[in-house]
Amino acid sequence: MAGRSKRMATSRSPQFADCVFINCPFDAEYWPIFEAIVFCILDCGFTPRSALEFTDSGEVRIHRLRDLIRSSKYAIHDLSRVELSYSSGMPRFNMPFELGLDLGARWFGPRRLQSKRCLVLEGRQYAGHKALSDIAGQELSHHGNSPTNAIKSVRDWLQGASERKTLPGPASINARFAAFSGALPELATNAGVDRHRLSFIDYVNLAEGWLRFGV
């Protein structure tokens, strides 16, 4: 209950200490993991932040990222898609680039930003170190491309990084995520949105409402 009270208090005006920036792929294959991470963050009483929440086409993307990184104490960086693209033959550099921005803000920014904490995820164990050798020596958490594993990784990291004692356990979060996912098609229909084309903001609103009133 303590986590839900915190979420209700901060959903309209998120505070630095409650915000979790998510730096991850946005492709269809990854989307179930993204939804699981967002739900986990909400269920733990934090506020998920993503570049997807911005709809102003006139705003420069790097400026959005700057604002998200400096307004979020926590960040999750998933490097599981740093591999060669079949279409371009090039790797995706966005996720490592944003990880670098986040670490730079922590190391070189003002005092408040020096309290930032980050979790680096990978799909397969040790794959991240192979793609980005500069993070050798830093512990990465691998989710095996499983939403269930991603929830456990994020929940356990949030508990340690925030030192909050009231976070629900990963089994409880996974059970609620499964229940919410089952209810989501009807919730989306009732809200007048397409379940298969949910925006980040719509997904967060539906998950917040379900957690607040549906359980």
Which structural domains are found in the chain, ordered by start? 2-213 (3.40.50)
What is the pLDDT at residue 131?
52
Q: Which helix or strand (DSSP H or E) is residue 201 part of?
A: helix 200-213
Mean pLDDT, rounded, for 71-81: 91
Measured distance CA(24)–CA(213) in Å, rounded: 29
pLDDT band at 124 (very low <50, low <70, confident <90, very high): low
Residue 178 has pLDDT above 80, yes or no: yes
Q: Compare 170 and 94 and report the one with higher pLDDT.
A: 170
Residue 27: per-residue pLDDT: 86
- In this predicted structure, the answer to whether residue 19 has a pLDDT above a threshold of 70 is yes
Pick 85 or 209 by higher pLDDT.
209
Q: What was the pLDDT predicted at 60? A: 76
What pLDDT digit, counting tens, does each position of 141-162 carry?
A: 778 899 999 999 999 999 999 9
CB 162 within 8 A of CB 169: no
Beta 47-49 vs 19-23: how paired, if at all? Answer: parallel
Query: Which range has the worst mean pLDDT, 25-29, 118-122, 133-137, 205-209?
Result: 133-137
DSSP-assigned beta bridge partners for residue 23? 77
Mean pLDDT for the chain overall: 84
Per-residue pLDDT band at 25 (split at 50, 70, 90): confident
* Residue predicted with more confidence, 2 or 98: 98
212 and 4 Cβ atoms separated by less than 8 Å:
yes
Which among 196, 167, 172, 214 has a CA at the least distance from the CA of 35?
196
